[in-house]
Amino acid sequence: MVSLNKETINLLLNKLADALVAQSDFILAENQKDLDRMPQSDPKYDRLKLTEQRIKDIANDVRNVASLSNPWGNIIQEKTLPNNLNIKKVRVPLGVVGVIYEARPNVTVDVFALCFKTGNVALLKGGSDAEYSNLAISKVIHKVLEKHQINPHVLTLLPADRSATEALLNAVNYVDVLIPRGSQSLINYVRENSKIPVIETGAGIVHTFFDASANLEKGQQIIANAKTRRVSVCNALDCALIHQNRAEDIPALLSPLAEKNVELYADETSYDLLKDVYPDALLHHALPEHFGTEFLALKLAVKVVKDINEALDHIAAYSSKHSEAIITEDAENIALFLNQVDAAAVYANVSTAFTDGAQFGLGAEIGISTQKLHARGPMALEELTSYKWLVTGDGQVRE
């Protein structure tokens, strides 16, 4: 990989984007085999499903990656010491990047594109739910690699069975870093059992706080978008917190959700305000377990809080440190929220749906890291590099 020049890398990525679109019929036919095995009621169904437009979008993400500046080889820092030693801190690939993921075939393309751009080998273990889709996409990638005389094993798709997962978790000296993408249970399993260094891309338990000074129209749009744009993604809204001084606005604030058939799990205050105006079949009393749940469905927890401090306490207690938002016209509360909330992405008057590598101008992403070591938030090109120190001199020795 380190022998490839950047022009060759970008050329191949653009050729891959063309090939994905050209092979849409083949990919969709294989994807349908996976879809036929999964009930449409399964929250993972939407993540698994490919369409012609989604393939075009995936291809466009690959082209975006090709167009971005490649951090690999960039000099982060350079200095010459008094003893004339020249020291450079230079970005280098992580090496062999293992990724374990569930029913999301687009991840196969995203990971390959980002790894290939940065000089890394991609070793992928997809879930059995997306086996046909992942195999189809990997075949398209391999054909493009082979056509350009590049070893196709720079993308290796492991078998979908569990034994491959166990082998990957124990691949010391073969794999440099392991990145799980999927449910909290998958992430926990990888973290607890891997002998390889792990970067967690955590589940999203996402909150939005509607403050006392919040604009109602903005609130309606932001909450509806964050909840309903795509319910199966990790940046989708799970809990709306509303300032007690705006409780009377709850029916209007959440009315757009009724049109999308969103089920509400409301605390006592919000339930009493909603019971005569929100559809009965979609309104439920909240139980303790509804707070701190990643729904991945048309479901939302609702809670009234007395002020921003109670909202901050609730988020601190239940957040997965993925994405959190405040809706307010109060500049001091914006500053307080942005400073106090411990999450990878914190928003003011913006939908959490924007936590995405492409939306952040990164081309694509390998995942959303919720940890603090090495990388946090959308992981793209820079996050797939480490660095090394290059030291040159002319015979210097240390006294």
The CATH number of residue 150's host domain is 3.40.605.10
Amino acid code (one letter) for 175:
V
**Contact yes or no for 348/328 (Cβ under 8 A):** yes
User: Residue 229 belongs to what domain range?
Assistant: 206-354
Same domain, 379 and 349: no
Cα–Cα nearest to 311, from 215, 243, 264, 249: 243
Burial class, 311, CB count within 10 angstroms (exposed 0-12 / middle 13-18 / buried 19+): buried
| pLDDT per position as a tens digit, 88-137 | 999 999 999 999 998 889 999 999 999 999 999 999 999 999 999 999 99
**Domain co-membership, 49 together with 105:** yes
Regarding whether 211 and 303 lie in a shared domain, the answer is yes
Same domain, 37 and 164: yes
pTM: 0.83
- Identify whether the C-beta of residue 249 lies closer than 8 Å to the C-beta of residue 270: no
Average pLDDT, the chain: 94
372 and 340 in one domain? no
382 and 327 assigned to the same domain: no
Query: Mean pLDDT throughout 367-387?
Result: 89
pLDDT of residue 380: 87
| Structure confidence at residue 385 (pLDDT) | 95
Q: Kindly state whether residues 256 and 287 are assigned to the same domain.
A: yes
Whether pLDDT at 43 is above 80: no
Does residue 22 belong to any structural domain of this protein? Answer: yes
Q: Are residues 185 and 284 in the same domain?
A: no
Please count the structural domains in the chain: 2
pLDDT at res. 104:
87
Give the SS3 label for residue 153: helix
- Our separate counts of H helices and E strands in the chain read 13, 16
Q: With bands split at pLDDT 50, 70 and 90, how would you rate the model's confidence at 327?
A: very high
pLDDT tens digits for range 184-233 = 788 889 999 999 999 988 678 999 999 999 999 999 999 999 999 988 88
Instruction: Examine residue 123 and state whether it is found in any structural domain, yes or no.
Output: yes
| Pair 303, 388 in one domain | no
69 and 185, same domain (yes or no) = yes
304 contacts 264 by C-beta, under 8 angstroms: no
126 and 186 part of one domain: yes
